Amino acid sequence: MVTATHCPYCSLQCGVDVDGIAVSGREFPTNRGGLCRKGATAGALLRHPDRLTTPLARDHKGAALGPVSWDEALDRVAAAILRTQAEHGPDAVACFGGGGLTNEKAYQLGKFARVALRTRHVDYNGRFCMSSAAAAASKAFGLDRGLPFPLSDIPQASAILLIGSNVAETMPPIMRYFERQQANGGTLIVVDPRRTATAQWATRHLQLRPGSDAAVANGLLHILVRDHHIDQEYIRRRTEGFEEALRTSAAYWPERVERITGVPEALLIEAATLLGSADRPMVLTARGPEQQAQGVNNTLAYINIALALGCVGKPFSGYGTLTGQGNGQGGREHGQKADQLPGYRRVDDPAARRQMANVWGLPAASIPGPGRPAVDLIDSIGADDGIRALIVMGSNLAVSAPDGSAVEDRLKALDLLVVCDFFLSETAALADVVLPSAQWAEEEGTMTNLEGRVIRRRCAMDPPDGVRTDLDILTSVAEHLGKQSYFPYRTAREIFEELRCATRGAPADYSGITYERIDAEDGVFWPCPSVDHPGTPRLFGDGFPRPGGRAKFHAVPHLPPADDRDDVRPLYLTTGRVLAQYQSGTQTRHVEDLERVSPEPLAEMHPATARLYGLTNGGRVRLTTRRGGATFTVKVTPTIREDTVFVAFHWGGERSVNRLTNAAVDPTSGMPEFKVCAVSAAAVDNLE
């Protein structure tokens, strides 16, 4: 039997048909039958011989993991939680979720933390992915939805500024939108330290120095103002704060921006002219500018450009961010963030607390307040008032968190680490209890794609014997903790019904969305406040959900990276993804076809840089940062800046580039600085 569902990986959430373990693209508005190599091979995950099919536990730290029954595993988890909380208080236990979890799971995990555990500590790996863009959009527009317009607007945009995204490799089916945009006569300007597949295909490429985004953005704004390309009427009528942003950008004249960023002055002027003379300009950011200790400010600086051009809230133009993880959007809306309740409500908002208390059937005062964001949460392990027990669901922290060796040490220091996963990931291998969970095609739920379109993930087959769904696991642990009355559900649909209720009247209002409507309409865009509301493909047409209905400019100067180059570490290290792997690789490293294409991380270096260090293509290089060192195979390529080394982050252990990255975080979003730190390089032969 063929089941219509969606790819397990990125935020494009391509429509797929699943027949047995065969996966094929299906006609769906976002992908129109197209799939990338990852989606096309996703069936290989389902009956993989490495699947976990029984709970595992170790008797004491240092002992090996061995199989145990579900009853025993759940008893151990519940007993350890109760013991930890009795000795150290409810906040000594934390939950850590993921941006790949369905909306129902994200909702349930947040509720489980606050209602079953009564802890304020719940956060997720979207903190490493989407938090800067989310914070910037909330500050500038009063609401964060990755794309506030449908993908189908892209082909009509006359000029697109795409910053820090290599979509040609990370989500290839989206390229059809950009191809149509170019066929319609539109221009694409890519900002990236690498001449990626996307940049090679663009009209112009601004190859900036890593960590210099705010200077590029201020420089472009400076030229747009100087050359009279801004929309004064829009700025006056629909925005505030322009004068301050203007004063800041005045200091970023093109020659100075060239010195800071390495982008030639003439190219900056060309790019600004293309954008400024376009009828329908569009600005799209992604992890490049966002995954920095200045990530929120970088994003705000690019949003300033969109506001100055007067394009936000107009069809076929505007500002958006390209979400990364499969449910990067819905995962940040429904309560698995440290500061958030379902529907994008704030946990410190008394009205939101009252509403959730009514839905959950408990006093508002019993809902814990804001908790620690991800990096801080991990850092606190081992501290007197820190986390002692951690439940991880849908995340492989040991690979995806910055300063990976320190993270591993912290995870080992926990009294209890529980990991729910379908493979023995690097994080699961450190756990005291591992609970085998179901995969994408073995369970029901909803996801929210990068456009804000809520879609259905359908169950195509039962999970293998011995495996339970994440929802079932959370309900079972709640039962073992004596909190079953708050978790009476048996199905994802029942949880979605509660989520609808919980988000009624909230910024991310799902109350009008039903499983039936999703089926009938190929997804529904939030906000959707009633069942007869059509959903909201485009936001901000009539105003912004901010005081006075106006969007806000922000004055954001360029600041250097937290860990800048010096004589000892004279290069920049930047990280990212490759076509054939996905995030921490827990899934894709189990797919033979993908492993053949990308079996290991490569250190991309410019030929001139390689020569300088005596390195050749295929040779080995030792990269060392202030956190530690790791050895990689060299890929010599002229597509990268001479001062920069790129390594993809999909691998663990000795192959993990995140052992080298910097855990410095953006002060607003808590986003770590994955995209830039100082590094030294040495040929391994020279070291021996």
Work out which of 19, 26, 27, 35 binds ligand SF4, going by CB under 6 A. Answer: 35
Nearest to ligand SF4 by Cβ — which residue?
A: 39
The DSSP code sequence of 218-273 is HHHHHHHHHTT-S-HHHHHHHEE-HHHHHHHHTT--HHHHHHHH---HHHHHHHHH
Q: Judged by CB, which is closer to ligand SF4: 172, or 368?
A: 172
Distance CA 230, CA 137 (A): 21
Q: Judged by CB, which is closer to ligand SF4: 223, or 578?
A: 578
Closest residue by Cα to residue 53 from 299, 421, 369, 364:
421
Q: Judged by CB, which is closer to ligand SF4: 10, or 143?
A: 10
Residue 552 as a binder of ligand SF4 (CB under 6 A): the answer is no
Spatial neighbors of 38 by CB under 8 A, at least 6 apart, are 7, 9, 10, 579, 580, 582, 588, 591, 594
Which range of residues in 8-16, 215-223, 293-301, 436-444 is near ligand SF4 by CB under 6 A?
Answer: 8-16
Cis peptide before 557 (omega within 30 of 0): no
Which range of residues in 32-40, 214-222, 374-382, 586-594 is near ligand SF4 by CB under 6 A?
Answer: 32-40
Q: Judged by CB, which is closer to ligand SF4: 2, or 383?
A: 2
Work out which of 5, 10, 474, 663 binds ligand SF4, going by CB under 6 A. Answer: 10
Q: Binders of ligand SF4 among 472-511, rule CB under 6 A?
A: none
Which range of residues in 31-39, 43-51, 183-191, 589-597 is near ligand SF4 by CB under 6 A?
Answer: 31-39
Check if the beta carbon of residue 589 is closer than 8 Å to that of residue 44: no
Q: Which residues of 357-383 are buried (b: 16+ CB within 10 A; e: fewer)?
A: eebbeeeeeebbeebbbbbbbbbbbee
Closest residue by Cα to residue 104 from 326, 337, 342, 339:
342
| Total chain residues near ligand SF4 (CB under 6 A) | 14
Spatial neighbors of 154 by CB under 8 A, at least 6 apart, are 160, 177, 178, 180, 181, 282
Q: Judged by CB, which is closer to ligand SF4: 327, or 680?
A: 327
- Beta strands 453-457 and 445-448 are antiparallel
Q: Judged by CB, which is closer to ligand SF4: 39, or 142?
A: 39
Residue 38 as a binder of ligand SF4 (CB under 6 A): the answer is yes
Check if the beta carbon of residue 50 is closer than 8 Å to that of residue 423: yes
- 3-state class of 621 per DSSP? strand
Closest residue by Cα to residue 431 from 414, 445, 456, 448:
414
Residue 287 as a binder of ligand SF4 (CB under 6 A): the answer is no
Q: Rg of the Cα trace of the chain?
A: 24
Residue 173 as a binder of ligand SF4 (CB under 6 A): the answer is yes
Q: Judged by CB, which is closer to ligand SF4: 323, or 639?
A: 323
Residue 36 as a binder of ligand SF4 (CB under 6 A): the answer is yes
User: Least distance (Å) from ligand SF4 to the CB of residue 445?
Assistant: 16
Distance CA 78, CA 171 (A): 40
Residue 324 as a binder of ligand SF4 (CB under 6 A): the answer is no
Residue 7 as a binder of ligand SF4 (CB under 6 A): the answer is yes
User: Least distance (Å) from ligand SF4 to the CB of residue 453?
Assistant: 13
Spatial neighbors of 341 by CB under 8 A, at least 6 apart, are 110, 335, 347, 349, 352, 353, 356, 367, 502
> For the chain, how far is it from start to end, CA to CA, in angstroms?
58
Which range of residues in 29-37, 424-432, 546-554, 632-640 is near ligand SF4 by CB under 6 A?
Answer: 29-37
Q: Judged by CB, which is closer to ligand SF4: 39, or 585?
A: 39
Neighbours of 44 (CB within 10 A): 17
Which range of residues in 87-95, 165-173, 218-226, 456-464 is near ligand SF4 by CB under 6 A?
Answer: 165-173
Check if the beta carbon of residue 486 is closer than 8 Å to that of residue 121: no
User: Least distance (Å) from ligand SF4 to the CB of residue 498?
Assistant: 28
Check if the beta carbon of residue 443 is closer than 8 Å to that of residue 474: no
Residue 129 as a binder of ligand SF4 (CB under 6 A): the answer is no
* CA dist list (Å): 26 to 6, 15, 32, 84: 9, 5, 7, 48
CA dihedral 409, 410, 416, 422 (to 10 degrees): -70
Which range of residues in 2-10, 250-258, 393-401, 512-520 is near ligand SF4 by CB under 6 A?
Answer: 2-10
Residue 46 as a binder of ligand SF4 (CB under 6 A): the answer is no
Residue 168 as a binder of ligand SF4 (CB under 6 A): the answer is no
Neighbours of 237 (CB within 10 A): 11
Residue 9 as a binder of ligand SF4 (CB under 6 A): the answer is yes
Q: Judged by CB, which is closer to ligand SF4: 275, or 594?
A: 594
Residue 14 as a binder of ligand SF4 (CB under 6 A): the answer is yes
Q: Judged by CB, which is closer to ligand SF4: 439, or 680?
A: 439
* CA dist list (Å): 314 to 142, 239, 278, 310, 542: 17, 14, 13, 8, 9
Residue 12 as a binder of ligand SF4 (CB under 6 A): the answer is yes
Residue 556 as a binder of ligand SF4 (CB under 6 A): the answer is no
Q: Judged by CB, which is closer to ligand SF4: 239, or 327?
A: 327
Residue 171 as a binder of ligand SF4 (CB under 6 A): the answer is yes
| Residues written for the chain | 688
User: Least distance (Å) from ligand SF4 to the CB of residue 53?
Assistant: 25
Distance CA 236, CA 11 (A): 35
Spatial neighbors of 408 by CB under 8 A, at least 6 apart, are 398, 430
User: Least distance (Å) from ligand SF4 to the CB of residue 40?
Assistant: 7
Check if the beta carbon of residue 615 is closer than 8 Å to that of residue 684: no
Q: Judged by CB, which is closer to ligand SF4: 518, or 684?
A: 518
Which range of residues in 67-75, 170-178, 234-242, 521-529 is near ligand SF4 by CB under 6 A?
Answer: 170-178
Q: How far is CA 57 from the centre of its chain?
A: 30
Check if the beta carbon of residue 88 is closer than 8 Å to that of residue 60: no
User: Least distance (Å) from ligand SF4 to the CB of residue 454?
Assistant: 16
User: Least distance (Å) from ligand SF4 to the CB of residue 39?
Assistant: 2
Which range of residues in 33-41, 86-94, 237-245, 635-643 is near ligand SF4 by CB under 6 A?
Answer: 33-41
Distance CA 113, CA 119 (A): 6
Distance CA 118, CA 584 (A): 30
Which range of residues in 3-11, 154-162, 350-358, 430-438 is near ligand SF4 by CB under 6 A?
Answer: 3-11
Q: Could you tell me the sign of the dihedral formed by the alpha carbons of 34, 35, 41, 47, in that order?
A: negative
Residue 13 as a binder of ligand SF4 (CB under 6 A): the answer is yes
Which range of residues in 35-43, 101-109, 452-460, 519-527 is near ligand SF4 by CB under 6 A?
Answer: 35-43
Residue 577 as a binder of ligand SF4 (CB under 6 A): the answer is no
Residue 457 as a binder of ligand SF4 (CB under 6 A): the answer is no
Residue 166 as a binder of ligand SF4 (CB under 6 A): the answer is no
Distance CA 507, CA 530 (A): 14
Q: Judged by CB, which is closer to ligand SF4: 151, or 434?
A: 151
User: Least distance (Å) from ligand SF4 to the CB of residue 543?
Assistant: 33
Binding site for ligand SF4 (CB under 6 A): 7, 9-10, 12-14, 31, 35-36, 38-39, 171-173
